[in-house]
Structure 1
């Protein structure tokens, strides 16, 4: 069996690590931008297609649920074919269906296109995140996780800017034609500049069989690792997605704010999320993944009741910053590296892609549907969001203490 030479297995250099961080971070940012634009136009979908809010929100939930299939199959490709090619193909896939979203002239067609879009979104994360975690040095893994995860907040800000500047002039369909362009450019750059993960190449050459043994997710004491990764993903999504999906709607519906105020508030939310991700990623390399998640969940819990005060401008802005800092940022800062550290290299892409997007399917798709469904019975959308975020925060604290601290471990 051929093995890699010492020169081929030495750690990647700083320039390569930074290049991978920028590329994967931008891909995640533009992926998130494309996904987030839909949350700004839920009211338009309700109006144009004459459907209830739950049906319109179901489009975002269907997209999120489809990410589970993308995470699983994209993860298999990432472990079998290589992180790089799976990453690039995934970006092209979701960009095509982002573009086609603009041609969706009915709710059924919109559902179909966004489900296909979700497959690519799930696949991109399943290959890109493990690749990044394998390329960056161990001592950088936490901050790299925070920087990469902040890409979602950057993406939400980019979506808010597109909505702010072009919604009134172009209408909601045309926003999707604009949104698909940047990700394609990132895919082309990745094809040209991004290296394949050396960890994956070494592992692939050492394998006696070239398939992906899914049983490795549940053998030799790995069962709880896999289950825990799925559960912590579910709860992290349940903390954040009621906010991602409904906050813009809450500002419009309960606050009666203009499009400009809604866009500016969402930008503030995600600027705070970026700060929270950077601080959280840095802290996770110091105090560990567990305490980063716990402290952020406590902060989110303390802020969760403030959804009911958005009509006051000052309180709205202060609350928006704090909830962004702790939930959009802090809770998520350690998640990419935390989940990567649950799995060995041979199945990391499959394991990370599947468990992360299991969380997306339940916490990101089902929980928002529950929130919108129970809202009329608990005093409105603001109360439903409060209860959902508070309960999820408590569960995040409990789960964080049910797995080992993984700061500083070498990826196997």
Structure 2
């Protein structure tokens, strides 16, 4: 619930203060929060620190995304987007390794504390890397254009408000409809991953009696499949476009849904293929989002839309549990996980496909802020995507930039 708060705070900081130092501040605070979590002695302390963790998680995604993608060559974006999001799956695999390494350390059942202390140290690597890497060229150019616009307002206006940067109000006024669509779209994205992943380990254990080793193998292999799907489909989106690629990925996932969740112990290789489809769509998601939002406040708009969608989808497990009450098994307190997950995934994938099909696309829209001298008000009208789907003028400008 607190991730949208972080997306707002740090998204605006990234757009006003820059990507570099906002990223460093977030990574530094992660150290304090991870150490604090490891030191927690009561549930209230634990919950309080994890709430702060949610704020930081909400802020890290948009800053990392714009850092990774906004200044890249146009025709390389799909491939880089396919690398960026599956990094989550790679991190999950590393977390599994670290967990196994630290689970038996320290006091009994408290190896997780040492895991968190170790994780805090990983943020130091990010801080050093980002300190050595320069500020985003696009941000520096955008900052200069905002400065020109605000100086003109001061010259033509009087009073307190003429000295305040109100460009965000202008952007929100023109972008509210697109922003609303993006919240719905990323609710669908997050529902797709939550619906197919959240209860899968519980299903393997409770319904199919899989032991820890088998569960670990299945989860690890499925994440490898997800990484491959994201890498491959990110590249494919440079050929098919963003929307068509996402729809193809979701149709692929639909094809393996029923068999993946029924008799899951034997059919788990099909679940790997399903995850390849789900995360293949996710591999296109970052660049699709970046091409749709207004560049003037792209960290704020992209981050908040994503995290609000994530918040909406957080009810996924509860919804599935409620549905499961209608499909009990013979064992007391058990329900048919496979059947419930399958029908829920079918519904989610169908809504997701419809949302993508009806939505806009700004394929190969220029993300880098150019050296043109137009004021910021022209940015809102010319860069807000009025040239949809890669118009000829947009395409020619792209080639000149490359």
Classify the TM-score, shorter chain: 0.7 to 0.9
1:279-318 aligned at under 5 Å gives the runs 279-305=232-258, 306-312=260-266, 315-316=267-268, 318=269
Q: Comparing 245-254 with 161-170, which one deviates more in the overlay?
A: 161-170
Residue 94 in structure 1 maps to residue 30 in structure 2: yes
In structure 2, what is the equivalent of residue 35 of structure 1? none
Q: Structure 1 residues 106, 252: CA separation in 2 closer, same or farther (over 3 Å shift)?
A: farther
Aligned-residue offset at 1:285: 1.1
In structure 1, what is the equivalent of residue 6 of structure 2? 70
Aligned-residue offset at 1:127: 1.3
Q: Output the CA distance in 2 between the equivalents of 1:131 and 1:179.
A: 22
Compare CA radii of gyration and give the structure with the larger one. 2
Residue 345 in structure 1 maps to residue 295 in structure 2: yes
Which of 393, 397, 405 lines up with 2:361 in the alignment? 405
Q: Output the CA distance in 1 between the equivalents of 2:6 and 2:327.
A: 35
1:37-92 deviation per Cα after TM superposition (whole angstroms, max 9, x unaligned): xxxxxxxxxxxxxxxxxxxxxxxxxxxx2211111111111111111111121122
Which of 224, 233, 241 lines up with 2:186 in the alignment? 233
Aligned residues: 341
| 8 A Cα contact 1:80 1:212, kept in partner | no
Q: Structure 1 residues 108, 247: CA separation in 2 closer, same or farther (over 3 Å shift)?
A: farther
Aligned-residue offset at 1:247: 2.2
Which of 265, 289, 293 lines up with 2:218 in the alignment? 265
Which of 349, 362, 371 lines up with 2:320 in the alignment? 371
Which of 333, 343, 349 lines up with 2:283 in the alignment? 333
Q: Structure 1 residues 176, 349: CA separation in 2 closer, same or farther (over 3 Å shift)?
A: same
1:281-325 deviation per Cα after TM superposition (whole angstroms, max 9, x unaligned): 10111111101110111122222222232232xx12x12311220
Residue 200 in structure 1 maps to residue 154 in structure 2: no
Return 5+ residue gaps in structure 2 as ranges.
151-163, 329-334, 368-382, 384-402
Runs of 4 or more consecutive aligned structure 1 residues displaced over 6 Å after TM superposition: none
| 8 A Cα contact 1:94 1:118, kept in partner | no
1:3-402 aligned at under 5 Å gives the runs 65-169=1-105, 171=109, 172-174=111-113, 175-192=115-132, 194-207=133-146, 208-209=149-150, 211=165, 213-220=167-174, 222-305=175-258, 306-312=260-266, 315-316=267-268, 318-327=269-278, 329-363=279-313, 365-379=314-328, 380=335, 381-402=337-358
Aligned-residue offset at 1:101: 2.4
Aligned-residue offset at 1:103: 3.1
Q: Output the CA distance in 2 between the equivalents of 1:195 and 1:115.
A: 31
Q: Structure 1 residues 403, 370: CA separation in 2 closer, same or farther (over 3 Å shift)?
A: same
Aligned-residue offset at 1:217: 4.3
The two structures have a TM-score, normalised by structure 2, of: 0.79
Q: Comparing 225-234 with 167-176, which one deviates more in the overlay?
A: 167-176
Q: Structure 1 residues 377, 111: CA separation in 2 closer, same or farther (over 3 Å shift)?
A: farther
Aligned-residue offset at 1:142: 1.1
Q: Structure 1 residues 331, 177: CA separation in 2 closer, same or farther (over 3 Å shift)?
A: same
Q: Output the CA distance in 1 between the equivalents of 2:171 and 2:82.
A: 25
1:247-290 deviation per Cα after TM superposition (whole angstroms, max 9, x unaligned): 22332332332322222211111100110110111011111110
Q: Output the CA distance in 2 between the equivalents of 1:393 and 1:271.
A: 22
Aligned-residue offset at 1:94: 2.7
Tell me the SS of whatever aligns to 2:281: helix
| 8 A Cα contact 1:303 1:322, kept in partner | yes
The two structures have a TM-score, normalised by structure 1, of: 0.77
